[in-house]
Amino acid sequence: PPLTTHPWGYRRKARLGVKYVYKKEKVLVGFRERSAPYLAELEQCEVLHPDAGMRLTSFSKLICSLTCYDKIAQIEVAIADDVSAFVFRNLVELTEEDKEKLINYAKEESIAIYLQPKGPDTVTPLYPENPRLQYSLPDYNVTLDFQPTDFTQVNQDINPKMVKLALELLNLEKNDHVLELFCGLGNFTLPMARHAKQITGVEGDAELIARANKNAELNDISNTDLHVANLMEDVSDCSWLRKEYDKLLLDPPRSGAKEILPYLAKLNIKQIVYVSCNPSTLARDAGTLVNEMGYTLVKAGIMDMFPHTAHVESIALFIKK
């Protein structure tokens, strides 16, 4: 059966559009209409975590009160276990008065507000000075720190169930050496490390690898070996590709794992668990694993990570014949 959870108020990561509409003399905060440049006028959103979804109207009033009311382009939402973070994309430098209004709002509402004047690397906390964003995976005694613009799973009710299912399918043993590709900040890595001899994790984003290493340290986990590598390009010179592995966990982006699969053929790994957010690229890559690399598809399932959308998360287990 598919993994499911409560379908409302689940979304902890989102990007809200912000636009000042001169005709209405009003700031709209919400989502863009499908196939149109317009923002839908929303008062609340039932799909977002309530700390974000019930805040749209008050954000509209807050931004309207700023001198730069027409220079806030979007708000990035990141809901952690203990604090909700909101990144305001400001197209101009904020006045001290505007900063003070945002700080007061953050204090009154017990939230964290960040500013982002340019690209993602310019995100800095406005209030509090050093917010700590975390989510936990209690089954594995693991807590992960993250930044508001990091990739994390949008549905933190499904995520622990997904991690548990992936580990059950891998059937980890204490002497297993596991290769994990697209490991991110350690969502699967650290739980696996509690059950296997060593986890070698590879990820293209150096910031996420730094975060994963820090998370391993914070959780007193010392059997991870993490590497930065672009898995969409030539990795033939990478040292991690010259080791032996018992099992593999793949969790690629929507584009799938097409580019890395040829490099895995030589490793002769007996068991692969593939987690996918795009069924069409999973189907394509499954064809390669089964028809060209000698694997058998043993189990497959879906997880309703994104209720009320057409998107679905999939998981599949492949065994070497």
For residues 302 and 180, membership in a common domain is answered with yes
Nearest-5° Cα angle at 139, 136 to 144? 25
Q: What is the 3-state secondary structure (H, E, C) of 250-311?
A: ECCCCCCCCCCHHHHHHHCCCEEEEEECCHHHHHHHHHHHHHCCCEEEEEEEEECCCCCCCC
Choose, from 45, 68, 238, 277, the residue flagged as catalytic: 277
The per-residue pLDDT for 41 is: 86
- Look at strands 295-303 and 142-146 and give their pairing: unpaired
In a domain, 247, yes or no: yes
Tokens coding 203: 């990820």
Q: What is the pTM of this model?
A: 0.94
In a domain, 84, yes or no: yes
Residue 136 to residue 125: CA distance in whole angstroms: 22
277 is catalytic: yes
Nearest CA to 48 among 8, 82, 86, 4?
Answer: 8
For residues 161 and 84, membership in a common domain is answered with no
The per-residue pLDDT for 242 is: 95
Q: Give 10-residue mean pLDDT values along the chain (321 residues).
A: 90 96 93 82 94 97 97 98 98 98 98 97 97 98 97 94 97 98 98 98 97 98 98 96 98 96 94 96 97 97 89 94 84
For residues 199 and 250, membership in a common domain is answered with yes
For residues 123 and 137, membership in a common domain is answered with no
Amino acid at 321: K
The per-residue pLDDT for 109 is: 98
The per-residue pLDDT for 32 is: 86
The per-residue pLDDT for 67 is: 97
Identify the CATH number of the domain in which residue 96 sits.
2.40.50.1070
Residue 9 to residue 3: CA distance in whole angstroms: 17
In a domain, 20, yes or no: yes
In a domain, 314, yes or no: yes
Q: What's the domain range around 41?
A: 13-127
Q: 291 burial class (0-12, 13-18, 19+ CB within 10 angstroms)?
A: exposed
